Copies of this chain bind each other. A is one copy, B any other.
Amino acid sequence: MKEMLFEQVKSIGLAQYSYVVGKADEALVVDPRRDVEVYLDLAARQGYRIRYVLETHRNEDYLTGSLELAARTGAEIWHADAQLNYQYGQGVEDGQTWRIGGLTMEAMHAPGHTEGSMAYVLQDTDGRPWMVFTGDALFAGDVGRTDLLGEQRLAEMTGRLYHTLFDKILPLGDEVMVCPAHGVGSACGTAQMADRPLTTIGIERRSNSMLATSDKTEFVANAARVLERPPYFRTMERLNLSGPPISGAVPIPTPLTVAEFDQARAECRVIDTRMELGFNAAHVPGSLFLWVDGLSHFAGWFLDYNRPLLLVGEEASLHEVSTYLYRIGFDQVRGYLSGGMRAWHTSGRESDGIGMVSVKGLCRLLDEEAGIWLLDVRAEEEIAAGGAIPGAHNIHLTQLPLHLGEIPTDRPIYLFCGSGMRSTIAASILRNHGLRDLIVVRGGTSGWSSTKCPLQ
């Protein structure tokens, strides 16, 4: 007889985890992403039939693959947040169970992150809990955010999360494995999240600082945080209720000649997915910098769903770029620049560029000149944790579009972040806003902190 199937499927960039659990020919998937080939392959290779799709909550950070998976396999879709107006599938009830090959999965109402969030408890053959799929209630090192229903309900929802955690999840037992919906780097968690893809209740009880106190008031004080909310969340939420369009596969972007690409620019947004050095050296005028590995995280902040996209990047990473855009619903990709920047330049077209300086170069400059305008685009927490360069102005990258007026236009702006990636995004935004004299600090504060230049 074949072994049980258990796979944690990670979506890099989104830091989203989904799960496939199978036994004796029957399988279920928890929180599938939109590009569902991975689940189909796992199931087909080992002869499993995907019977159920279980969602822990109506997701706001990616498009669900539930409909896609149901279309390919005939699986039933079961929604948490069943009170919402879903256009497809069925609503889960607390205590509901599903059987796959003799194993039982049981729904457990787990409000806090949303009102109708569900956790799912996989029982061992003895009927006792073996694994709990906690959705956005409990992460490794952190708990879910409770601010999505608005600040006025923050305390209430955090209180409900307290009861979910302390009255329901933790009592399952230290030995129970915890399968969360997100890992390190997710927009659904904070920097507190631990890089611990598989964990247990006992490990979280001892190591997760949010669980350090079992006093409700203290817990609420700690956990009632208002986090950033990328604008694309609204679109994800809406589409996850109506059902994202079924497409069958990640689209293959069209190669465009330089002339075609150039002509399409008028009505499109150009995204450059190369690394920061190549972008700063030369890029198609008007491009937004979003390097591949940062795409999942930042596209939802700066792109507009109504404007078609054009891509510039390494051809080897095009499939990855397409997948990342597809996962969050940017389906209007007009094509990519065939031949890349080399083709752009050999056609005789002009490109734009952004200045760069090394940390030692900046150091010297700060020694020699007064009045250097430094823009630090890191988040407040990072600055608090990692120290700042004296005299720098701070505008978090995600807030930059709202604070463009605060940047002087009459002098050079030196931009930095932790490494040089986010500051290049910022520079591309400022450039598109009309600023010309922009200099990105290569290596950012990480490089800076390795030099002798003082940090506050």
List A56-92 residues whose CB lies under 8 Å from chain B: 72-74
Bound complex: CA A43 to CA B344 (Å): 21
In the assembled complex, A198 has its CB within 8 A of some CB on chain B: yes
Q: Which residues of B contact A15 (CB under 8 A)?
A: 3
Chain B hits for A346, CB < 8 A: 418-420, 443-444, 446-447, 450
CB pair A49 B255 closer than 8 Å: yes
Residue of B nearest to A353 (CB): B356
Interface residues of A in 240-268 (CB under 8 A from B): 247-249, 251-252, 254-257
Tell me the complex Cα distance, A125–B25, Å.
38
Contact B275 A341 (CB under 8 A): yes
Whether the pair A314, B315 counts as a contact (CB closer than 8 A) is no
When the two chains form their complex, are residues B348 and A198 in contact, meaning their CB atoms are under 8 A apart?
no
Q: Is the CB of A206 within 8 A of B128?
A: yes
Interface residues of A in 112-136 (CB under 8 A from B): 124-126, 128, 130
Interface residues as binary, A116-158 with B (CB distance below 8 Å gives 1, 0 otherwise):
0000000011101010000000000000000000000000000
A351 contacts chain B at the CB level, 8 A cutoff: yes
CA–CA, A167 to B338, complex, Å?
42
**Interface: A218 (CB within 8 A):** no
**Judging by beta carbons under 8 Å apart, are A348 and B338 in contact?**
no
Is A175 a contact of B200 with CB atoms below 8 Å?
yes
Chain B residues near A104 (CB, 8 Å)? none
Residue pair B316, A47 in contact (C-beta under 8 Å) = no
Among B48, B175, B254, B275, contact of A205 (Cβ-Cβ < 8 Å): B175
Chain B residues with Cβ below 8 Å from A200 are 175-177, 200, 202
Asked whether A194 is an interface residue with its Cβ less than 8 Å from the other chain, the reply is yes
The minimal Cβ–Cβ distance linking A131 to chain B, given in whole angstroms, is: 8
Which residues of A331-385 are within 8 A (CB) of B? 338-342, 344-351, 356, 358-360
CB distance from A365 to the nearest CB of B (A): 15
Given contacts A254-B74, A342-B420, contact A173 B197 (CB under 8 A): no
Interface string of A3-24 (1 = CB under 8 A from B): 1101000101001000000010
Q: Is the CB of A342 within 8 A of B248?
A: no
Check: A455 CB closer than 8 A to any chain B CB: no
- Which residues on the B side are within 8 Å of A176 (C-beta)? 200, 202-203
The 8 Å CB contact of A197, one of B4, B124, B345, is: B4
Query: Which of A174, A342, A359: most chain B CB closer than 10 A?
Result: A342
Q: Is A183 in the interface zone, CB < 8 Å from B?
A: yes
Q: Is A231 part of the binding interface, using a Cβ–Cβ cutoff of 8 Å? A: no
A44 within 8 A of B: yes
**Can you list, as one digit per residue, whether each of A201-240 has a CB less than 8 Å from chain B (1) or not (0)?**
1110111000000000000000000000000000000000
The interface residues of chain B lying within 8 Å CB-to-CB of A100 are none
Contacting residues, chain B, for A444 (C-beta < 8 A): 345-346
Note all chain B residues with C-beta closer than 8 A to A49: 254-256, 338
- Which chain B positions have C-beta within 8 A of A184? 1, 3
Cross-chain contact A255 with B342 (CB below 8 angstroms):
no
CA gap between A4 and B248 in the complex, in Å: 30
Asked if residues A198 and B198 are in contact (CB atoms below 8 Å), the reply is yes
Residue A317 is within 8 A (CB to CB) of chain B in the complex: yes
Tell which of B4, B251, B451 touches A196, judged by Cβ atoms closer than 8 Å: B4
Q: How far is the CB of A228 from chain B (nearest CB, A)?
A: 20
Q: Which residues of B contact A349 (CB under 8 A)?
A: 443, 447
- Indicate if the CB atoms of A348 and B450 lie closer than 8 Å: yes
A359: chain B residues at CB < 8 Å are: 345, 348
A314: which B residues are within 8 A, CB to CB?
A: 275, 314, 316-317
B201 touches A175 (CB 8 A): yes
Q: How far is the CA of A278 from the CA of B342 in the complex (A)?
A: 12
- A183: chain B residues at CB < 8 Å are 3
Complex contact B358–A351 (CB within 8 A): yes
Smallest Cβ-Cβ distance to A204: which chain B residue: B175
Is A280 on the interface with B (CB-CB < 8 A)?
yes
A40 at interface (Cβ–Cβ under 8 A)? yes
Q: When A203-B124, A358-B351, A421-B342 are in contact, do A44 and B252 touch as well, CB less than 8 Å?
A: yes
8 pairs of residues in contact across A and B, judged by CB atoms under 8 Å:
A4-B196, A49-B256, A128-B206, A249-B249, A274-B278, A314-B317, A346-B450, A348-B451
